[in-house]
Amino acid sequence: MWIVTGSEKGRIRLVSSKDVDALLPIGSYLTVVDDINVKHILIVEESYQMSLFEPSPLIVDTGLPLFSQDQECKNILLAREIKQFPLRPDGMFSYIKPNEKAQRTTQEEINEIFRSKEGYPVFLATNYLRQNSLLRDDVGKLISVKIPFDSLYLQTMICGQTGSGKTVAMKYLIERFLQHEKGAVLAINVKSIDLLTMDQHTSITDENLKLKIEEEWDTIGLIQDNDNEYSIYIPYQKQKYKEGVNQDKIFYITLRTSDLEPNSLLGVLQNVTDRAAEALPNIFRYWKEHVSEPTKRFRNFITWFRERATKENNYVFPTLSQVDEESELYMHPGTCRAILRSLESASTFFDSPSDECVAIRENNIMIPGKLSVIDLSSKDTVVFGAVLLRHLLSKIYESKAVEGQYPELPILIVIDEVHQFYRSTASALALEELNAIARMGRSEKIGVIFASQNPDDLPRGLTAIVNTRIFFRSLGNVSSKYDIKASSVELTSLDAGYAIVSNVSVPQIRFVKFPMPRMGVIS
Amino acid sequence: MYSNVDISKVKIRLNNINKKVTKNVSFTPSDITIMMQEFYLSPTMSCLEDINSKYDLYPDDIQLLSDWDIFAYDESVRNFRSLEGDLFFCSSSTIKIEKKYLFNLTVLPFFFTSMKKFQSSNDESILYADNLSEARNLTMIINKTNSILETVTPHSIILIDGPLVGGNASTYMVKMDVALRNRDCIPLYLVKNSDSRLIIDNDPNLSKEFNNDFHWAVHKLKTCSRSSFFKYTDMYSKEKSKVFSYLKALPGFPERVEMHTDTYTKYKKIIPSLMNLLAYFFIVQGDYSNPQVRPIAIAEKYAREGLRILNIPVLLGKLGFHPTINQVRFG
């Protein structure tokens, strides 16, 4: 038990009673019930010890037995009130008065404060001496809280260094979304086999860790569920695929030029001027409408483009705008060469003649309870990814928002290392669709999770619209930029899985640990 | 004894004082020195050991800590002036050494006045006093003996701040001492400051050289030693009899420990261990400039806290007391 002794600069000061023989870590929750039965919930922001009797050091120097009674210490806490309930009928808020008693907040009280029944559970966490631990109640039970699923439709940003738990958290969110929302998930895998083992049960070899994880699963009742449909889509390539991935789930994909939405082509462009980037979709549209043969092969577009980019043709290209206006455009020979280089490098991903290849469309993705992972982890496939992503997003947007298809189907789009798609202006432009989708998320039940090592890698427009920000271990300067200073926990000191969360629906929740998913983590 | 703080009578008594005597007191406490005057009429002195021998102390001999319960008592006071008299707060603290310190803390206000209308009053909180200082001391002694007798349990060593015999309080103290001994308790009295000359007045050579017994002890004692035991008995009141010695466990000033002669006789076998335990408590406290046994220092800490938690000036204001005229004028 802790006793309120006063307040300091808006924070409540508490002192431990005699029965408390340890320090309560930062991030812990306390409940004070006042004389009119209003419950005040406090979160601990500072915790330190005070020795009551300040014994003489002589006792040690003289080699005499210690006077153990002098070792009694008190735990001093500075805590911030985050909620009080029920609210007073007079419209005012109650004081927390000196000498009122505080107990550690129970799971039942946490449930009362955060009334989200439909949400993905995360554990509340604490920090002391830069060591992280899970928040427990007085009987040692872990305390969890639910972050509403609805907030996923208001977009989520996950940041953290390699090994900080960012990818595991993404897997957890995917798993919870599939299980609860019964929606479709489109995830982009950009490194190793991170998201390619989501059909396999989580397996932990370290016995201690295993026990901890099992305790977490038991606490939140996380059950195994691998009934979901799962497909891995890989750009067609000759090399054999990676070990550890279930080959049955793999589908090679290609892009059909005939299907390609002209603006998606922007994704292939690198090192070209903005003007050229703007022009290419219109040139491509013209080619598709007026030049190409019925088969519409990408190779033929390159050949046609090369023919136009000559002295004889004065480097002039016919164009067709989105509103069917024809025109002509001169491009500098250097720009033409750059575009050609980009088109050549992307050509292998188009119109593959192989029977193994499928031309991926939005109907491959928009299936309830299905996880579709597009693997872009091989070299040079990010360029393809940018085109593909733009193409798919555009189709998803069109089908849901314009054509009104899949009205009840929620979709979650997960893009790991999203900064890779923003490396060039052109590919950044290619993701304009993502912005549009992110902005209409709630009404259409489309959620996007952007993950990156450093939030600064994301365009400011994108970071501004996200409703949930999850910061795993990151560089120190991140905290001041994204308003997470008040949590009193240093981002640089977070252990794997621990994160600082900023969510508009549950602003009182700050420091949490993400549970391990039941599927997809192989240690 | 469960870490108990009793301030329940404070408000009742202050309301009573406010109603019957005064509404105007100084919110700034006035300094008063509470010093039990020692005077010894018709002393009979003897030295129980060789006055010139050295008596070393062994602070590692602390077996008594496991065999006996240890209690300690101290008090803290604060005085507020008014035209009608003095408002006096006494915080009495008795601590017990268990796994942690347990304490029994009582804070009581008293009003001392020389207004004769209160001479025959039975009011516990408003006391008539011809001599304010004497009345205050007497009140403190009664408070002290009550507090100790209420708290201590049988088979305990009790460390008490202040003398056993020497002054008006002796009768009360001796009475308490008898009661404690009947419970198989060993009351030991520790005196930090005193002008007593019982030892030096007994030897013309010493009285030539020294101002008082403490002066003598400072020069006589080496660190971690004690003086021989002396016995004092009042020639006309035999029950006022004590055995005392000066102890110097740390470099700096010595302290006097005294006990009733009956205590000395009854527990003679363990007296050396008792002295060693006191030496241990001095070292645990470890303050050269303010040598005290640790349990009394802790009791003192709690006694002061008793006054602090009341926040007396604020409490007085809330209960309707007004600042005195002088305080209004000079702040």
Tell me which of A425-434, B40-49, B166-175, B214-223 is least confident: A425-434
Q: What is the pLDDT of residue A241?
A: 66
Who among B62, B100, B250 is closest to A65 (CB)? B62
B278 touches chain A (CB under 8 A): no
Q: Which residue in the set B3, B62, B286 is minimally distant from A18, CB to CB?
A: B3
Q: Is the pLDDT of residue B63 over 90?
A: yes
Which is nearest to B275 in space by CA: B239, B240, B243, B232?
A: B243
Phi/psi of residue A283, nearest 5 degrees = -65, -45
Indicate whether B2 pLDDT > 70.
no
For A215-264, the pLDDT digits (tens) are: 999 999 888 776 778 899 888 765 656 778 888 888 888 888 887 878 77
Chains A, B: CB pairs < 8 Å: 45
Judging contacts by C-beta atoms under 8 Å, the chain A residues touching residue B99 are: 68-69
pLDDT for res B186: 97
- Is the per-residue pLDDT at B283 higher than 60? yes
CA distances to A185, A325, A403, A463, B219 from A433, rounded to whole Å, are 17, 23, 16, 15, 94
- DSSP run (H or E) holding B207: helix B204-209
At A395 the pLDDT is: 82
Please list every residue in chain B whose beta carbon sits closer than 8 Å to the beta carbon of residue A53. Answer: 101, 298, 301
Looking at residue A39, what is its pLDDT?
A: 94
DSSP H/E element including A513: strand A511-513
Q: Which residues does chain B have within 8 Å of residue A70's beta carbon, measured at their own beta carbons?
A: 284, 294
DSSP for B70-130, written as a single string: EEEEEEEEEEEEETTEEEEEEEEEEEEESSSEEEEEEEEEEEEE--GGGTT---SSEEE-S
The average pLDDT across B144-172 equals 89
The phi and psi torsions of B105 (rounded to 5 degrees) equal: -125, 125
Burial class from Cβ neighbours inside 10 Å (0-12, 13-18, 19+) for residue A443 reads exposed
Q: Does B301 touch chain A (CB under 8 A)?
A: yes
What's the pLDDT tens digit per position in A182-204?
999 999 888 888 888 888 889 88
Question: Scanning every residue of chain B, which has its alpha carbon at the shortest distance from the alpha carbon of A64?
Answer: B60
A358's tokens: 């499928």
Question: What average pLDDT does this structure show over B78-107?
Answer: 89
Cβ(A386)–Cβ(A263) under 8 Å?
Answer: no
Quick one: DSSP state of residue A502? E
Q: Does the distance separating the beta carbons of B98 and A18 come in below 8 Å?
A: no
The arithmetic mean of pLDDT across residues A365-393, rounded, is: 82
Query: Cα–Cα distances in Å, from B159 out to A104, A143, B315?
Result: 39, 49, 32
Instruction: Give the residue, B37 or B246, on which the prediction is more confident.
Output: B246
Cβ of A55 within 8 Å of Cβ of B3? The answer is: no
What is residue B188's predicted lDDT score, i.e. its pLDDT? 97
* Cα gap A298→B24, rounded to integer Å: 101
Which residue has 């016919």 as its token pair?
Answer: A318
CB–CB contact A70 B294 (8 Å): yes
Q: Measure Cα distances from A516 to A173, A448, A482, B150, B293 in Å.
A: 10, 21, 26, 60, 57
Amino acid at A140: G
The reply to whether B98 touches chain A by the CB within 8 Å rule is yes
Q: Which residues contact B267 (CB under 8 A, 6 or more apart)?
A: B186, B274
DSSP A149: G
**Contact list, A68 vs chain B (CB under 8 Å):** 99
Residues A230, A195: contact at Cβ < 8 Å? no
CB-based contact B212:B196 (threshold 8 Å): yes
Cβ–Cβ gap B283/A53 under 8 Å? no
Tell me if chain A has a CB within 8 Å of the CB of B208: no
Confidence (pLDDT) at A114: 80
Q: CA angle, corner A523, sides to A455 and A225, nearest 5?
A: 85
B37 has a pLDDT exceeding 70: no
Q: What is the mean pLDDT of residues A296-322?
A: 89
Across the interface, whether the CB atoms of A69 and B99 are under 8 A apart is answered yes
Mean pLDDT of A75-95: 93
pLDDT at A429: 59
Helix, strand, coil shares of chain A as percentages rounded to 5?
35, 25, 40
CA-based nearest residue in chain A for residue B98 = A69
Residues of B (12-71) whose Cβ lies below 8 Å from A = 59-60, 62
Read off the pLDDT of each residue in A39-54 and give the average, rounded to a whole number. Answer: 90
Q: What count of residues does chain B have?
A: 331
Give the mean pLDDT of B80-102.
Answer: 89
**Chain B residues near residue A57 by CB distance under 8 angstroms:** 286
| Mean pLDDT, residues B146-152 taken together | 93
Confidence (pLDDT) at B38 = 65
The pLDDT score that the predictor gives to residue A80 is: 93
Quick check: A139 pLDDT over 70?
A: yes
CB interface of B with A, residues 248-267, below 8 Å: 250
pLDDT recorded at residue A289: 87
Interface test with B, best of A3, A20, A56, A74 (most B CBs within 10 A): A56
The pLDDT assigned to B284 comes to 87
CA nearest to A57 within chain B: B286
* C-alpha–C-alpha distance, residues B224 and B251, integer Å: 8
Please tell me which of the candidates B59, B60, B101 has its beta carbon nearest to residue A72.
Answer: B101
Q: Do A67 and B298 touch (CB under 8 A)?
A: no
How far apart are alpha carbons A130 and A422 in whole angstroms? 34
Average model confidence (pLDDT) across chain B: 87
Please state the pTM of the whole predicted model: 0.72
Flag whether pLDDT at B322 surpasses 60. Answer: yes
Instruction: Please judge whether A70 and B284 are an interchain contact, meaning their C-beta atoms are less than 8 angstroms apart.
Output: yes
Residue A201: closest CA among A170, A176, A224: A224
Share of chain A above pLDDT 70, in %: 91
CB contact under 8 A, B97 and A69: yes
Structure tokens at B45: 């002195």
- Minimal Cβ distance to B285: which of A56, A63, A64: A56
> Looking at residues A350-366, what average pLDDT do you find?
81
Mutation target among A3, A58, A61 for the B interface, most CBs of B within 10 A: A58
Binning pLDDT at 50, 70 and 90, where does residue A458 land? confident
Reported as a single tens digit per residue, the pLDDT across A462-485 is: 767 788 889 998 876 665 666 665
pLDDT class for B203, splitting at 50, 70, 90?
A: confident
Calculate how close chain A gets to B11, using CA atoms only, in Å.
Answer: 18
Q: If you average pLDDT over each of A111-125, A214-228, B266-280, which comes out highest?
A: B266-280
B144-149 LR contacts (CB < 8 Å, sep 24+): B144/B73, B144/B75, B144/B92, B145/B172, B145/B173, B145/B175, B145/B176, B147/B73, B147/B92, B147/B94, B147/B104, B147/B106, B148/B71, B148/B73, B148/B94, B148/B176, B148/B180, B149/B176, B149/B179, B149/B180
Which residue type is seen at A306? Answer: R
Partner-chain contact A64 B286, CB within 8 Å: no
What is the reported pLDDT for B36?
58
Distance (Å, rounded) from C-alpha A216 to C-alpha A144?
9
Say how far residue A196 (Cα) sits from the centre of its chain: 17
Three-state SS sequence of A240-283: CCCCCCCHHHEEEEEECCCCCCHHHHHHHCCCCCHHHHHHHHHH
Of A45-49, A377-381, A500-504, B50-54, the poorest mean pLDDT is in A377-381
pLDDT band at A71 (very low <50, low <70, confident <90, very high): confident
Share above pLDDT 70 across residues of chain B, in percent, rounded to a whole number:
93
Nearest by CB to residue A64, choosing from B59, B99, B298, is: B59
Residue of B nearest to A99 (CA): B309
Q: What is residue B85's predicted lDDT score, i.e. its pLDDT?
A: 85
| Token reading at B179 | 């009661």
Residues in chain B with CB shorter than 8 Å from the CB of A65 are: 60, 62
Q: Which residues of A touch B3 (CB under 8 A)?
A: 18
- Predicted confidence (pLDDT) at residue B74 exceeds the cutoff of 90: yes
Lowest mean pLDDT among A170-174, A371-375, A419-423, B142-146: A419-423
What pLDDT, on the 0 to 100 scale, is given for residue B100? 85
> Are A59 and B99 inside 8 Å of each other by CB?
no
Task: Read off the tokens for A487.
Answer: 């949590």
Give the nearest partner residue to A55 out of B97, B98, B284, using CB atoms.
B284
Structure tokens at A454: 């450093």
The model's confidence at residue B54, banded by pLDDT at 50, 70 and 90, is confident
**Pairing, β A39-51 against β B126-128:** unpaired
CB distance B100–A59 less than 8 Å? no
pLDDT band at B310 (very low <50, low <70, confident <90, very high): confident
| Tens-digit pLDDT profile for residues A152-173 | 888 898 989 888 999 999 999 9
Residue of B nearest to A56 (CA): B286
Nearest CA in chain A to B280: A64
> Of A458, A462, A457, A419, nearest to A439 (Cα)?
A462
**pLDDT class for A505, splitting at 50, 70, 90?**
confident
Confidence bin at A393 (pLDDT 50/70/90): confident
Q: Do A58 and B97 touch (CB under 8 A)?
A: no
Q: Which residue of B has its CA nearest to A58?
A: B286
Assigned token pair, B122:
């039975």
Global ipTM: 0.70
Band (A512; pLDDT cuts 50, 70, 90): very high
Q: Give residue A9's pLDDT band: very low, low, confident or very high (50, 70, 90).
A: confident
Chain A partners within 8 Å of B286 (Cβ): 55-59
Report strand pairing: A250-254 vs A229-235: parallel
